[in-house]
Structure 1
Amino acid sequence: MLTTLKTLTKEEKRTEVIAGITSFFAISYILIVNPLILADAKIPANLSIFATIFASALGCLIMAVWADAPIVITPGMGVNAFFTYTLVVSMHLTWQQALAISIFSSVIYLLVSFSRVSELLSQAIPPELKIGITAGIGLFLVTLGLEKAHLIAQGGSRSLLAPGNLAAPETLLALFGLALTLVLYLRQVPGSFMLGIIVTSAIGVCLNIGLQAPPEVSFSDISKYRALLFHADFSSLFTLKFLLAVFSMTMILIFESMGILEGLLPAPQKFKRTFEASALATFCSGFLGTSPTVAAAESATGIESGGKTGLMSLVSGVLFLMALFFIPLLRYVPQEAIAPVIIITGALMIQQLKELNIADFSTWFPAFLIVVLIPLSGSISLGLAFGFAAYPLVKVASAQAQEVSPLLWGLSLLFILQLICEAVLL
């Protein structure tokens, strides 16, 4: 990291800082959403917001120092839902026991990441599946951005999604922001994403559009935060319920992180160190009192803004720490200002589909499953599971079984076991 800072020019450092700020604002909603989800697991929201901040800041620091990669680390959306609604609500575990499962799973994640296994797994993934992962995450981001822009909403009994209200002030603000950010990006204006967020936010503040109520948290609550520190409960260790939960969470952590990193990293040679950094951050998060951290898909916004080094993640980490004092000010950055950046970033990632040989259905179909199931299910791990499970099947059916390595057969079986375990847990 220090070597990188010395070699970067002043202009490159400026670009990295802008990328870090952009990615922070793109993922800043996690500061509000993660505590609200964990509240359903009986973790006090006014305390878990500190856990979210510290886990994110520490994860970004580890990523910057250990991997020098432009990846932002935060408690993962989807993983926090598994933590809350599967482990605690469905399985009737306490949040302390769920933390123990997270820590145990992260130890396995650590062992995999720091061994040769991580490289073997990465090399075993066919290019078409890697493309599917990138495009699937991109489409997931587009869906997320469209929801934040109020262009789509939850559908009724007849449809999964429904159109939003185009006459609503919030939607019009998001459309303005999308048009502005798109023009700035296409004209290659430096810091186009950040400028789009600033201008759209300023208009939202002036017109009182999209502003959210400030979180009910006080900095003085930090003195109570110790109630979450090192509170994992391993009393159910080695019970069948515990082991099934550990297996499912381990699969989610390893392969969701691997999928995101394969899809986002601008420098593939940094994968090993980045994977290790992600595992270290995940291990720490359980002790800090929050659901596991993962590489945030929203890191793509910073990467598309020019982020290439750990300086981007370091800047995001510093901003997470600064949020301790300025959490109420986040209400002045409406979701409608962030949505355009997320939509454009997702669209850029979907461009990877041009590398696929769509004429070969045995190549296209597993990637297709990943692309559609990630956004439609809202779960990166579910999309990966179906794509990897289908790959050997279509290759055997098309008389191309020789293209499936023994390791890929093993991965396919593991993903099938994951789906079975999650069905049993639910």
Structure 2
Amino acid sequence: MMNRLNKNWIREISAGLIGYLTTVYIVVVNSAILADAGLDMEFGMIATILASTLGCILMGIWAKLPLIIVPGMGVNALFTYSIVQQYDYSYGEGLGVVVIASLIFVITAFTPMGSYLSRAIPNTLKHGITIGLGLFLILIGLENAQLIVSGNHSIISLGDLSSPYVIVSLVTLLIGVLLFVKNVPANFLITMIVGTMLTFVFGLSEQEPITISLSSLTDGWIAPEFHHIGQITFWAAVLPLALVLIFETIGILQGQVDMLEKPERYKVGSKSSSIAALFSGFFGTSPTIPAAENVAVIAAKGRTGLASVVAGVLFLSTILLIPYISMIPANAISPILIIVGVLMMQNIKHINVNDLTEAFPMFLIMFMIPFTYSIADGMAFGFIAYPLIKYFTGNKEATTPILWVIAGLFVLEFIVKATM
């Protein structure tokens, strides 16, 4: 009996370690995206670490599930490039949007609203959001790698293939893809390490390790601000973030509890995830969601909350490594953005392209997100088009009242923007 208990403990600790190694890349990647919103990299790392630590421990102790919780890829891009940059918000004002959107998520997780909202929004639009986010991440990754640049006679053009920086980016991308398709453990972490080494070997980076003191940590913390809460544009920023946060969590979490054969734990898992997302705004980062990499934890036979608690403790210990991981350059991060973006685009297989009343709104979301460089605006085009197309083609039963409300809010947002 004792031997069996020890084996179970070893298995759960091992699964937690594997989960940590497969997701710790998010500390660097998320902070790099937050840096584009105006936050110093080191503070982005600390915020990411604290949010991930709390999320993992909540999921482990409360939900008793071996699932890692980290800031979501795509959600962080929505925060930085749509909420902060598009609406010209300060970082603190952007965090205010995160808190309110996460509060809506909490309400849906603790009430039947979540199930109703999930049923009311067509799967076509949900898939369109995921695909559009994927394309957007690919675009950002290609820009960071300087594989695409602003064109002289076009919007974008191919980067300088003779540039050592671009060559290193291409080599790192190739290594990252090979490691991923071969399913090498901690492939993203290895990719970042190799890319960083190549960058320093070729003398493309002179960044030194940073030093962090307790006083600098407290001075760098940014609190959520709610100055714009009475404005329509504030709620126009909240709406897409809340929708993406709710839909991504529902989709990922439902699939993972099914893999664990613990569907009865879905509700408490959703509650844990929503509370973690809410605290993310106060820690200073975009919201957390269950990591897609949890499949590695499940494959490692993680079955209890101990695995996620172990991962949470390991995330917290990552604070000690911040002076060194802050040296990781953008072209070592870009392959991860590109690969994750490609994975998100796989949802296109769920779209019935023969039914244009379904496919056209999805394509609008899919292309308008990267082409407008705005996740919120891209979503708006699809959510407005879907009920209109269904109504005027005699299929109004395919729409729902909540869908019309969301479409109306997006129309109102466009009107406000046009008159500003």
Shorter-chain TM-score category?
0.7 to 0.9
Structure 1: how far apart are the matches of 2:312 and 2:69? 10
Alignment-derived partner of residue 409 in structure 1: 404
Alignment-derived partner of residue 257 in structure 1: 245
Which has the higher mean CA deviation after the structures are superposed, 50-59 or 310-319? 310-319
Structure 2: how far apart are the matches of 1:348 and 1:287? 30
Alignment-derived partner of residue 185 in structure 1: 180
Work out which of the residue numbers 349, 353, 360 in structure 1 matches 2:348: 353
1:72 corresponds to 2:70 = yes
Amino acid at match of 2:235: F
| C-alpha deviation, 1:272, in angstroms | 5.2
| C-alpha deviation, 1:233, in angstroms | 6.5
Work out which of the residue numbers 106, 113, 122 in structure 1 matches 2:109: 113
| C-alpha deviation, 1:18, in angstroms | 3.7
Work out which of the residue numbers 116, 119, 125 in structure 1 matches 2:121: 125
Question: Aligned pair in 2 of structure 1 residues 151, 190: CA closer, same or farther (>3 Å)?
Answer: same
SS of the aligned residue for 2:157 comes to strand
1:163 corresponds to 2:151 = no
Alignment-derived partner of residue 151 in structure 1: 147
Work out which of the residue numbers 207, 229, 247 in structure 1 matches 2:235: 247
User: Once the two structures are aligned, what percentage of the paired residues are identical?
Assistant: 30
Amino acid at match of 1:76: N
| C-alpha deviation, 1:200, in angstroms | 3.5
Contact 1:35/1:46, CA 8 A, preserved across alignment: no
Work out which of the residue numbers 209, 212, 215 in structure 2 matches 1:218: 212
| C-alpha deviation, 1:391, in angstroms | 0.7
> Deviation per CA, 1:283-335, whole angstroms, max 9, x where unpaired?
334444x3653449xx44x3576667778876765565334333221144333
Question: Aligned pair in 2 of structure 1 residues 203, 387: CA closer, same or farther (>3 Å)?
Answer: same
Structure 2: how far apart are the matches of 1:113 and 1:402? 27
Alignment-derived partner of residue 287 in structure 2: 293
Contact 2:128/2:365, CA 8 A, preserved across alignment: yes
Structure 2: how far apart are the matches of 1:73 and 1:128? 24
Which has the higher mean CA deviation after the structures are superposed, 415-424 or 121-130? 415-424
SS of the aligned residue for 1:242 comes to coil
Structure 2: how far apart are the matches of 1:195 and 1:330? 13
Q: What count of residue pairs does the alignment treat as equivalent?
A: 401
SS of the aligned residue for 1:165 comes to coil
Work out which of the residue numbers 377, 380, 386 in structure 2 matches 1:391: 386
Question: Aligned pair in 2 of structure 1 residues 250, 343: CA closer, same or farther (>3 Å)?
Answer: closer
Amino acid at match of 1:220: L
Amino acid at match of 1:164: G
Contact 1:101/1:245, CA 8 A, preserved across alignment: no
Question: Aligned pair in 2 of structure 1 residues 29, 213: CA closer, same or farther (>3 Å)?
Answer: farther
| C-alpha deviation, 1:32, in angstroms | 4.9
Question: Aligned pair in 2 of structure 1 residues 331, 341: CA closer, same or farther (>3 Å)?
Answer: same
Contact 2:95/2:224, CA 8 A, preserved across alignment: yes
Contact 2:233/2:413, CA 8 A, preserved across alignment: no
Alignment-derived partner of residue 281 in structure 1: 276
Contact 2:209/2:324, CA 8 A, preserved across alignment: yes
Question: Aligned pair in 2 of structure 1 residues 179, 356: CA closer, same or farther (>3 Å)?
Answer: same
| C-alpha deviation, 1:401, in angstroms | 1.8
Contact 1:56/1:317, CA 8 A, preserved across alignment: yes
Alignment-derived partner of residue 368 in structure 1: 363
Structure 1: how far apart are the matches of 2:143 and 2:194? 20
Amino acid at match of 2:70: V
Contact 2:240/2:379, CA 8 A, preserved across alignment: no
SS of the aligned residue for 1:159 comes to coil
Contact 1:129/1:366, CA 8 A, preserved across alignment: yes
Structure 1: how far apart are the matches of 2:266 and 2:375? 19
Question: Aligned pair in 2 of structure 1 residues 233, 375: CA closer, same or farther (>3 Å)?
Answer: closer
1:333 corresponds to 2:328 = yes
Q: What is the Cα-based RMSD across aligned positions, in Å?
A: 4.0
SS of the aligned residue for 1:354 comes to helix
Contact 1:102/1:249, CA 8 A, preserved across alignment: no
Contact 1:261/1:271, CA 8 A, preserved across alignment: no
Structure 2: how far apart are the matches of 1:144 and 1:95? 20
Contact 1:101/1:242, CA 8 A, preserved across alignment: no
Amino acid at match of 1:242: G
| C-alpha deviation, 1:169, in angstroms | 1.8
Q: Gapped runs of 5+ residues in structure 2? A: none
Alignment-derived partner of residue 25 in structure 1: 25
> Deviation per CA, 1:148-167, whole angstroms, max 9, x where unpaired?
322112x2464332212212
Question: Aligned pair in 2 of structure 1 residues 345, 283: CA closer, same or farther (>3 Å)?
Answer: closer
Alignment-derived partner of residue 37 in structure 1: 37
> Deviation per CA, 1:189-243, whole angstroms, max 9, x where unpaired?
444444433333333343334564555x522324644x857x6667x6xxx8624
| C-alpha deviation, 1:117, in angstroms | 0.9
Structure 1: how far apart are the matches of 2:93 and 2:173? 43
Which has the higher mean CA deviation after the structures are superposed, 170-179 or 329-338? 329-338
Amino acid at match of 2:317: M
